Amino acid sequence: MSRVTEAPAVNWPTLTDQEVVLRARAGSERAYRELVRRYERPIFSLIYRMVRDRELAEDLAQETFVKALNALDSYRPEYKFSSWIFKISNNAAIDHLRRRELDTLSLEGSPHAATPDAIEATALQIGDRGETPLDVVEAKELGGEIEQAIARLRPEYRQCILLRHVDGRAYEEIAEILDLPLGTVKTYIHRARNELRLHLAHLRE
Amino acid sequence: MTRDLEQHLTADELDLVHENRAPASIRAHLTMCADCSRLAETDRQLVHALSRLALHVPSAGFEDRVMAAVRIPEPISATEALRRRIFSTRRSLLMAATLVLGLLGSMGASVAWSLTHREALLAFSRSVQHGLLDIAWTTVRSLVTSLIEQPWYAGVRGVLDTPERLAFALGAVMIGWLGGMLLLRRLIALPDQRVAHESF
């Protein structure tokens, strides 16, 4: 059956997440795509930094979106959509880490990769933010050091520090996403920062 | 409020420093305590570096793979969308219930008042009826008076003062009207031959 085409007047970027969800619930395919576009990068980045394996991160991110979008009817609009979907992605990553006991990994690739191609394919790619070539090199070097330091953190510290300082979530939202008391979240973040400072101390020398 | 130099900053106070919300006592302590000042600066650099980490991008076709696995409901009617919107949150449900109760309450109060004040309603409707009739009659009279006093009225009446002339004038008006209708119909008729770009 052909779907109803969207009115061209809809300015999607200006809609709130809640408005997009209402349109998705009403059967708009474009609204589903808008939700994926808004969250594919932050969700994929968070999972990638948690599991350190690109292919696996894509699978878990896809699982997150499919689970969330197929359960849109159970989403309650009085809560932030970002908290809801981050909670689902975090559960997917933590479940996987518990199953595999994959808590600290190297940047050089997944320990489950058997061939050189697989190791290269699963190695962490350091991104850039479109700055000058020198900035990019410096940012990549520093970014690589920080990614390595984050990879050495315990999973619970890692998820807290990523949500707080990479995604910019408030302490209260992180507590909601991770189902942890606010005090515990603050403690984890401060301990994570202490560990990161120690891991990165050589950069200041 | 002064602060002991030995009383170093807590983690929460460091957060206040990063968010530029530190009170004067903390800022004063930072100027005096080299350890805390160094720690705050290192922490600030770390937080800044973390915030600059780039987002990773999934491989091409990620969105399509997700969409292929998602069950999209059939588009719903405006009424169904409104019903879902009303029932989506407790607040919207409460607002809708308040509105419905308000409407039903005012309708009930109106019916009850009408039943207990029938004489007053009848008197009111009679006075309104009389008032409207008076207005209508006055309007008709003033229109007719105005028409009769027009300078061209006597000439027009002279042209139409016999039944033959009246029938002739009415016939001319009818023919003119029919001609106009036929012309209009021809102008707005759809073309009966196939035209270019028809399939678009």
Domain boundaries, chain A: 8-102
Burial of B71 (C-beta count, 10 Å sphere; 0-12/13-18/19+):
exposed
- Inter-CA distances, A200 with A152, A158, B17, B53, B175, Å: 11, 15, 21, 15, 99
Point out the residue among B46, B74, B84 whose CB comes nearest to the CB of A197. B46
pLDDT digits (tens, 9 = 90+) for B174-192: 999 999 999 998 888 766 5
Pair A142, B54: CB distance under 8 Å: no
**Domain containing B182: what range?**
150-189
Residue B59 touches partner A, C-beta closer than 8 Å: yes
Mean pLDDT of the B62-82 span: 86
- Which chain B residues are closer than 8 Å to A127 by Cβ? 53-57
CB contact under 8 A, A129 and B89: no
| Structure confidence at residue A115 (pLDDT) | 57
| Structure confidence at residue B198 (pLDDT) | 45
pTM (2 d.p.): 0.61
> How many other C-beta atoms can be found within 10 angstroms of the C-beta atom of residue A106?
14
B57 is a domain residue: no
* B97 and B130 both lie in a single domain: no
Chain B residue with minimum CA distance to A124: B56
B199 is a domain residue: no
Is it the case that residue A133 has pLDDT exceeding 80? no
B89 is a domain residue: yes
Chain B residue with minimum CA distance to A52: B56
CA torsion, ordered B118, B124, B125, B131, to nearest 10 deg: 170
Which helix H or strand E contains B69, and what residues bound it? Answer: helix B62-69
**Chosen domain end from B66, B95, B116:** B116
* B99 and B130 both lie in a single domain: no
| Structure confidence at residue A135 (pLDDT) | 56
| Structure confidence at residue A97 (pLDDT) | 87
B165 is a domain residue: yes
* B101 and B135 both lie in a single domain: no
Residue A76 touches partner B, C-beta closer than 8 Å: yes
Residue B21 touches partner A, C-beta closer than 8 Å: no
Q: What is the largest CA-CA distance in chain A?
A: 66
- Terminal CA-CA length for chain B: 78
B67 is a domain residue: no
B143 is a domain residue: yes
Which helix H or strand E contains B153, and what residues bound it? Answer: helix B153-159
pLDDT digits (tens, 9 = 90+) for A72-128: 988 988 889 999 999 999 999 989 988 876 444 444 455 445 555 555 544 554 444
B65 is a domain residue: no
The backbone torsions φ and ψ at residue A104, rounded to the nearest 5 degrees and listed phi first, read -125, 125
Pair A162, A193: CB distance under 8 Å: no
SS3 call for B144: helix
| Structure confidence at residue A101 (pLDDT) | 63
Q: Which residues, at least 6 apart from A83, have a Cβ–Cβ distance to it below 8 Å?
A: A173, A176, A177
B176 is a domain residue: yes
User: Which ipTM score applies to this complex?
Assistant: 0.75
In chain B, how many domains are there? 4
DSSP state of A107: T
Domain A8-102: CATH class, spelled out:
mainly alpha
